[in-house]
Chains A and B, each alone.
Chain A
């Protein structure tokens, strides 16, 4: 199959980028999207041009490194999948595709389709952890966790931090990411001691990183490769209001 690609090219953070048109003349439908770009890049290198930069690592949908917009949808048209798990058979012969990096003030473009997602690391550093003593491993089952809580915490923990939620949100809000981390830790007994401070610190950090805020639109939920639900955002709101009500403050 043949594809027309319009790809965002930008050499570095300082330069202003632009869309450039490429043709991919013989794409194998069984290739993954990233393999298709690998082939395109081989052609560019052979011609002495700069290859298209994009993030990737595991290429099996678990690390959270890959991701960009395909025709205005984060991770492309396949629901519940990262771009590395998207295959070319989901596209039509002759289709035109627009590839753009995640767009958010908090995610500056580094090069082409690669953005800097360190803001997510700082959100985690602000409160996305539990404090435990290091040393010998605790006994298994020393802390009992109800099955339903364990399941729901596991669903939230599926978040791989790819940033698709921010990219897709009309407000560039990180709420689905924050909600997933807060639900993951807050559903487990180990997450309780720091629960009130966690939500306050993470929300404050998100404001400092200049992420937007949630207006309950749901585009994040629609594109999340791990299908995290909006309920985690309501849970974050609940934790925040509870912490404020009980007079807890972030510091």
Chain B
């Protein structure tokens, strides 16, 4: 069953001087319990695609253009009322944001923030919320969750903040999770733990996931299907196996090459492939 269906999504930012066509004709779908990877270079429109689905594009200057369609479980979200979008956000569609500090509230402790998500989306009582928030922090690999619960975001390390935000998003038990670079601040061990947790939630609760990342290694391991985006459009789509075996678009070829070489951080690409990426 299709859970999310995006058709010809175009999200533009109309400024005084320029119109930025951040997303310019994107179509894809995510099935129930399916994990789809979304990759592409910096600035290609991945985050704006995600924000469009959640109804979080700042309007103005942003605007989802006429003819775009985003359907969640058959319900059209483009043009839906602010109230309806609010009821979908968190509860049905959860998002792990790329920059944790932008979505954590500096004046509440992390326990209060996770507790709030639990009460709001799952109707959990205060005392129960406290216990569950400690469990959630533990599940995302925060040591000493009981103590960390009482700290403010600025008192945590970068990697801890990222995990707190993941815990907060998962507290709502969304049907669809949009994870925007969810593990960039984490070492491999913790990263594996988080991705494993997301996997378990997929199989136990059928949670679907749109996984945005620039790390093709993560995609290879966690997704069946992958979308490659460039300049606001999807330039390639297919199974992970097919894309690794036979990447068609030059940018995909380059990403695959980079992911396979051991020191992907700074090595040189094979002769000939560099010129493919303008």
A, B in one complex: no
A residues engaging B (CB < 8 A)? none
**Which residues of B are in contact with A by a Cβ distance under 8 Å?**
none
